[in-house]
């Protein structure tokens, strides 16, 4: 059982090139560890995410206070648990979806389809038909083909084009997969005019866990340039969607949402009031609300290297470490810190979460692992691969 957590915070100053005045200027929150101990008193049979919805509420309010002009629309994929979604609804937060399964959950909770934004740039015909039939009005696109596809199904759809935005300083740069460059946008505008399609907005995504506020400035500037082109072509732009990417505190220092807001609010000054401004925070709203709890299945020494195997690995929710995210992980051990490789319980060689991470040398079978600020992109990614159970979500 948990005694007292030991934190493996490796002090990391931002590199010289990063302007230090941006980082850790405002206190970040975290679920009180005593709740984790209380949850474990109710037993443990498999990994679980413990979520405190009051932290989600606080984050939603903080986001809105920082950017009064910007309506938050939660990116459902970060954590689609219905209790999380319900909390968003109660806080007046809207939604952004990638699939019709996400839409169905929202409709089941009473969300109005017209307030759901379909922000996946590549949608199957069947999904567009379904979403349109259910009343979704706003659809993103970033190719002429997608414009024609959506228009052929729903000629009165309200469309927003995703443009490329710089992803400098994001932990998950998305540049390249989605987003149009200037000349490509010209072709979209021309095609929308020819089809008499209602191309009415612009969006961008700066990349997840974005630590560089300047990316939002560049994205908004790019959007304004597209608005100008749209107006010149006779279209009526009325949506600016500044996407997701707002970071949360793990090991590296981050710019607070208030620091990002300084940049965003300034860039929005000359955007007419007739334009609705929205954002799509995912990680920001849910990460801090939860601890992910799992357990050591066993340990081994291979070629002189210490390995430990957790009952949740890459397929069980601890996936983002493979993309470079470093969580603040607590244990109950106090031994000397040594480098460990950490793997999941499956037989797949991909199932290695971390290499050479420092953990106490006395870690052993049965120990609990407490991953802080893990409310986003953990349970959402988990699969039943190899017959291991999905993690629970326990809500307080």
Ligand X SMILES: *Cc1c(COP(=O)(O)O)cnc(C)c1O
179 counts as binding ligand X under rule CB under 6 A: no
Indicate which single residue of 179, 201, 222, 245 sits in contact with ligand X (rule: CB under 6 A).
Answer: 245
72 counts as binding ligand X under rule CB under 6 A: no
Is the CB of 30 or the CB of 205 nearer to ligand X?
A: 205
Is the CB of 22 or the CB of 165 nearer to ligand X?
A: 165
Give the number of residues in contact with ligand X, rule: CB under 6 A: 16
Residue 6 CB-density burial (10 A; 0-12 exposed, 13-18 middle, 19+ buried): middle
Measured from the CB of residue 383, what is the shortest distance to ligand X in angstroms? 18
Indicate which single residue of 48, 63, 246, 388 sits in contact with ligand X (rule: CB under 6 A).
Answer: 246
Measured from the CB of residue 257, what is the shortest distance to ligand X in angstroms? 11
Indicate which single residue of 5, 47, 237, 243 sits in contact with ligand X (rule: CB under 6 A).
Answer: 243
In the stretch 351-390, what mask flags binding to ligand X with x, by CB under 6 A? Answer: ----------------------------------------
Indicate which single residue of 283, 319, 343, 393 sits in contact with ligand X (rule: CB under 6 A).
Answer: 283
Cα Rg, the chain, nearest whole Å: 22
Is the CB of 5 or the CB of 243 nearer to ligand X?
A: 243
Indicate which single residue of 119, 212, 321, 378 sits in contact with ligand X (rule: CB under 6 A).
Answer: 119
Applying CB under 6 A, the span of 267-275, 279-287, 309-317, 387-395 interacting with ligand X comes to 279-287
CA dist 79 and 85 (Å) reads 8
96 counts as binding ligand X under rule CB under 6 A: yes
213 counts as binding ligand X under rule CB under 6 A: no
Applying CB under 6 A, the span of 126-134, 241-249, 303-311, 327-335 interacting with ligand X comes to 241-249
Q: Is the dihedral of CA 116, 121, 127, 128 positive or negative?
A: positive
Q: Is the Cβ–Cβ distance between 351 and 280 less than 8 Å?
A: no
Is the CB of 281 or the CB of 317 nearer to ligand X?
A: 281
Measured from the CB of residue 265, what is the shortest distance to ligand X in angstroms? 18
Is the CB of 360 or the CB of 375 nearer to ligand X?
A: 375
Residues 188-207 that bind ligand X (CB under 6 A): 205
Distance (Å) of CA 327 to CA 116, 174, 220, 287, 292: 31, 21, 31, 11, 11
Indicate which single residue of 39, 51, 78, 85 sits in contact with ligand X (rule: CB under 6 A).
Answer: 78
280 counts as binding ligand X under rule CB under 6 A: yes
59 counts as binding ligand X under rule CB under 6 A: no
Interface ranges with ligand X (CB under 6 A): 75, 77-78, 96, 119, 205, 208, 243-246, 280-284
């Amino acid at each position: 059982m948990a005694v007292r957590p030991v934190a493996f915070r490796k002090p990391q100053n931002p590199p010289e090139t990063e302007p230090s005045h941006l980082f850790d200027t405002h206190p970040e929150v975290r679920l009180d560890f005593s709740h984790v101990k209380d949850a474990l008193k109710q037993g443990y049979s498999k990994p679980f995410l413990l979520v405190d919805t009051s932290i989600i509420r606080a984050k939603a309010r903080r986001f809105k206070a920082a950017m009064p002009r910007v309506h938050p629309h939660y990116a459902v994929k970060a954590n689609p648990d219905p209790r999380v979604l319900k909390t968003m609804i109660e806080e007046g937060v809207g939604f952004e979806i990638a699939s019709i399964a996400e839409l169905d959950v929202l409709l089941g909770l009473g969300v109005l389809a017209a307030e759901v934004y379909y922000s996946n740039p590549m949608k199957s015909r069947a999904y567009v038909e379904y979403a349109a039939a259910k009343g979704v009005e706003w659809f993103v696109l970033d190719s002429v083909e997608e414009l024609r596809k959506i228009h052929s199904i729903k000629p009165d759809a309200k469309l927003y084009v995703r443009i490329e935005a710089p992803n400098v300083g994001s932990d998950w740069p998305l540049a390249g997969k989605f987003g149009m460059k200037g000349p490509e946008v010209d072709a979209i505008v021309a095609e929308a005019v020819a089809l008499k399609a209602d191309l009415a907005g612009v969006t961008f995504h700066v990349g997840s866990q974005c630590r560089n506020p300047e990316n939002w400035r560049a994205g908004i500037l790019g959007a304004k340039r597209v608005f100008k082109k749209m107006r010149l072509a006779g279209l009526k732009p009325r949506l600016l969607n500044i996407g997701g990417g707002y970071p949360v505190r793990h090991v590296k220092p981050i710019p607070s949402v208030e620091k990002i807001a300084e940049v965003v609010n300034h860039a929005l000054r000359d955007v007419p009031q007739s334009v609705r401004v929205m954002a799509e925070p995912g990680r920001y709203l849910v990460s801090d609300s939860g601890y992910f709890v799992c357990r050591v299945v066993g340990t081994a020494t291979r070629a002189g290297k210490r390995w430990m195997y957790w009952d949740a690995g890459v397929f069980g929710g601890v996936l983002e470490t493979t993309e470079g995210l470093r969580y603040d992980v607590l244990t109950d051990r106090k031994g000397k810190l040594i480098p460990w490789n950490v793997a999941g319980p499956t037989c797949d060689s991909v199932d290695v979460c971390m290499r050479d991470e420092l953990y106490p040398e006395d870690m052993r079978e049965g120990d609990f692992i407490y991953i802080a600020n893990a409310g986003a992109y953990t349970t959402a990614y988990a699969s039943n691969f190899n017959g291991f159970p999905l993690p629970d979500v326990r809500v307080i």
